[in-house]
Amino acid sequence: MRIAALDLGSNSFHLLIVEARPDGTFDPLVREKEMLRLGDAVARTGRIDDALFDQALEALHRFDALADSLGAEERVALATSALREAENGAELVDRIEAEVGFRVEVISGAREARLIFGAVRASVLIDPGPALALDLGGGSLELMVGDRAKLSLAESLKLGVARLTAELVQDDPLSAADVGRLRGRVEEALAPLAEEVTRLGPRMLIGSSGTLCALARMAAAHRSGVVPTTVNQLTVRLADLQEVHQQLLSLPAAERQRLPGLEARRVDLAPTGSVILLALMEMFGFDRLTTSEWALREGIVIEAIGAHDPVDWTDDTHGMRMASVLDLCRRCGWQEAHATQVGRLAIELFDQTLPLHGLGPGDRELLSYGALLHDIGEHVAIEGHERHTAYLIENGRLRGFSPEEINVLSCLGRFHRRGSPKTSFPAFSCLSGKARDRATRLTALLRVADALDRSHATRVEDIDVELLADRVRLRALSHGDIELERWGLRRKRGLFEEVFGRRLEVSAATPVAASG
């Protein structure tokens, strides 16, 4: 089923067309955005002027044509604060229905918050929970507290970045008086909620939508010198956000647009957004921000799918990551039996060599996912499929993984056959020194596990590993012929021996039958 979700926001109109499945997963087909800034006009005059009417209708005609061309069977269009508050908002809604041909529902701030949180918890791993989630739009700030199982608080406040810029900002760059007015408005609006938020005890801060994602992207670029390609599950430190804040407040718009990670269309809004974010972090005591690329439009899709096939999003937090990995595997027509066998053996190898590699539970989990994904590149081509695997992992929209974890998984895919992870591979070069070491160790383990199913016949039933001072003895237990697996291990043990400094000796044995 194809669904077109239209988010008619105060800053932008967004279109997301997806191929939806009954299990709640979906493949984005088209994303479109039109920056209209309705919220600016509403904040200044209380109305949407004729020119903006025409631009809005033109954008929606284009969105409707795209939905038609892709065979969207259902359109869901929701409007938020600008149309909700404009004196003539109802007139625009009526004209959309009459001239474009679909119905627009103007929703409350509370419903907007619930939809956004549904998208956030389906996109970001909330661990530790609960989380305080913020969605900073043009006209409003949605503030939510919840975890994977439930939403405990959902509020919509008139603290949108375009609204406050239009109402309170007079100078460029922002003056001390501008900053004082902005902070005063934020603190006044949040004061009634502070006690309730504190009582609920959120343990992580999540931000969504364009302005907060832009600030996180800038903070990451400031720290590493590289603008991240994705910000989903990206975590940035307060100290780096403060550095970016100082840059935004010291530069006029013409110079701000040269700051790494800041889109031109957000140059005038980013300083206000930064003041709002830092005031919130200070008030609620957070020193890190994690970002979600999913927001209202993905929430619309999830709700629309659930209306046809109810989806349970209350499973364990890490279950979301596995579901996302399996969804990508299935989209790529994976060899399930082989991938599952390699995953099982990789975890056995990890557990039995723990004193050797010294990696932790998070690494064990990534190895499991990397094993499941390692051959998905064969969906594109058998020859050189490891390169295709890496590309698919990086662009596969895996949910609940940080950019660093995606890069580690990409390294596992790229080097599971041959070669050593090297800085000429972008995903590896982006990693810190410690993460590079982790990725290399995990690759060495995955390569051995992959060799243990060289025939793709799942013949190895178990392994037994003995760690000695100068070597590692691995016995592959099987009732069948595993000569091909032993041959594969002789070819693929080089990285293991190089990384861990011990020779890998391989033998075959028959499992001992359990006594009755």
Are residues 272 and 330 located together in one domain of the fold?
A: no
Give the whole-angstrom CA distance, residue 505 versus residue 60. 65
CATH of residue 410: 1.10.3210.10
Averaged pLDDT, 356-365: 95
**Residues in Cβ contact with 395 at an 8 Å cutoff, skipping those fewer than 6 apart:** none
CATH of residue 49: 3.30.420.40
What letter would DSSP give residue 203? -
Are residues 268 and 356 located together in one domain of the fold?
A: no
| pLDDT per residue as tens digits for the range 73-84 | 999 999 999 999
For 404-416, give the DSSP string: HHHHHHHHHHHHS
In a domain, 352, yes or no: yes
Domain hosting residue 158, numbered range: 125-293
For 371-401, give the DSSP string: HHHTTGGGGT-STTHHHHHHHHHHTS--SS-
**pLDDT tops 90 at residue 22:** no
Are residues 154 and 246 located together in one domain of the fold?
A: yes
Are residues 351 and 422 located together in one domain of the fold?
A: yes
Are residues 189 and 144 located together in one domain of the fold?
A: yes
Tokens standing for residue 435: 């993460």
| pLDDT per residue as tens digits for the range 31-48 | 999 999 898 888 889 999
Q: What pTM was estimated for this model as a whole?
A: 0.83
| pLDDT per residue as tens digits for the range 252-298 | 999 999 999 999 889 999 999 999 999 999 999 999 999 999 999 99
Question: Per mean pLDDT, which range of 101-110, 316-325, 339-348 is the poorest?
Answer: 316-325
Count of CA atoms in the C-beta half-sphere (13 A) of 431 = 24
Instruction: Tell me the pLDDT band of 311, cut-offs 50, 70 and 90.
Output: low
Q: How many domains does the chain have?
A: 3
In a domain, 67, yes or no: yes
Are residues 365 and 477 located together in one domain of the fold?
A: yes
Give the whole-angstrom CA distance, residue 64 versus residue 58. 10
Averaged pLDDT, 89-106: 94
Are residues 160 and 72 located together in one domain of the fold?
A: no
Dihedral sign, Cα of residue 417, residue 360, residue 131, residue 276: negative
- Residue 515: what pLDDT? 47
In a domain, 251, yes or no: yes
Comparing CA positions, the residue from 163, 156, 154 lying closest to residue 141 is 156
- Residue 314: what pLDDT? 47
